[in-house]
Amino acid sequence: MKYIPLLIPEHARVLPHYFKPQPTMVTGGGKISKGLQWALGLFFGMLAIMSLIHPLLSLLWLLCGFIAFPPGHRFLERRLRFRLTTAIKAVTLLLLFTGSFPLILHYAEKDKQAAERQQLIDDRVAKEQAVIARQDAQRQDTLASYLQEGRQLGQSRQWEAAKQQLQRALTYARNDEEKNKIRDAASGLQVNRSQELVKAGKYKAALPLLDSALAGRRTDPQLRYNRALCYSKTGRIADAVSDLRALMQDGNKDAEKLHDKINPLRKRIVGYETLCCDGSTSGARGRGACSHHGGVCDWNHPIYEEYRKYE
């Protein structure tokens, strides 16, 4: 039932203090006033969003924005049944805004302390990274020094000393790129050493070095030829032929010459035939054989087949 104010005259009221008219609700004022209220509400809303990391402060700004917004204004008047005048709203917002200062100072101090702690952490991390970078630079310099010394010793044919330097360099390698550089240098050392042994006729001693070098350079024709030569000189003809055939497929003339030398063509008898006197042959074995070819000169002329011992 809706209450109708002033329906009973004042002199006829039994309980004059009971019959009180409801407060008059405001509609929000003019366009300029509404615009200011919306702007103020948006301002406090932005502050609330910016303060989300500080929940209490964010809730305080959100409350201010709710009061400032015209919809919030009307909601409060309906629920609390009083007239929220401009003066009351201004004083309320001012009190809330002023009351936010302690929270602002509190959170500002906490943010400052957190920033100082983070700065200390960043400084410590930066120092640790600087130390690590300096140590890594020293490690790389040492590695490069050992690697260079190993190469120089290899060029002067000091094989054992060069090998030791490369082994020391390997202890300072930390990634695949560095390890590959050392492996390449070691492989080059083995190649040079094996070539020297081959030239000196030390074929058995050269074989392990050639095997190791070919593990990383399978397509190197000179290494494969040298290994085939060492195989042939140490009696491993079948292994030598296997290497030489791989080279012959690529048209290597030196491999062909060595192959013909260690695995020459041979002949063997695979049957017999009739040889006519004019040089032709016949498969006939009885009378009349080679009758039109000058007669039979050899009834058991051998048939030969060419072959190689290591096919």
pLDDT digits (tens, 9 = 90+) for 217-251: 888 899 999 999 999 999 999 999 999 999 999 88
pLDDT, residue 117, reads: 93
Q: Identify the DSSP state of 308.
A: E
Q: What is the pLDDT of residues 118-172, one digit of tens each?
A: 999 999 999 999 999 999 999 999 999 999 999 999 888 898 899 899 999 999 9
The domain in which residue 283 lies consists of 265-308
- 67 in Cβ contact with 93 (< 8 Å): yes
CB atoms within 10 A of CB 150: 26
Q: Quick check: 67 pLDDT over 60? A: yes
Q: Quick check: 282 pLDDT over 60? A: yes
pLDDT, residue 138, reads: 95
Confidence of residue 19 (pLDDT cuts 50, 70, 90): low
- CATH number reported for the structural domain that contains residue 184 in this entry: 1.25.40.10
Residues 253 and 269 in one domain: no
Q: Identify the DSSP state of 157.
A: T
Residues 254 and 275 in one domain: no
Asked, for residue 149, whether it belongs to a domain, the answer is no
Residues 205 and 287 in one domain: no
pLDDT, residue 25, reads: 45
Q: Quick check: 297 pLDDT over 80? A: yes
Domain count, the chain: 3
pLDDT, residue 54, reads: 87
Asked, for residue 16, whether it belongs to a domain, the answer is no
- Tell me which of 115, 136, 164 is where a domain ends: 115
- 67 in Cβ contact with 73 (< 8 Å): yes
What is the per-residue burial (b if ≥16 Cβ within 10 Å, else e) of 198-221?
Answer: beeeebeebbebbeebbeebeebe
Q: 27 vs 252, which has greater pLDDT?
A: 252
Residues 291 and 234 in one domain: no
Asked, for residue 162, whether it belongs to a domain, the answer is no
Give mean pLDDT, residues 109-114.
90
Give mean pLDDT, residues 1-12.
59
Residues 32 and 110 in one domain: yes
pLDDT, residue 27, reads: 45
Asked, for residue 131, whether it belongs to a domain, the answer is no
Average pLDDT, the chain: 85
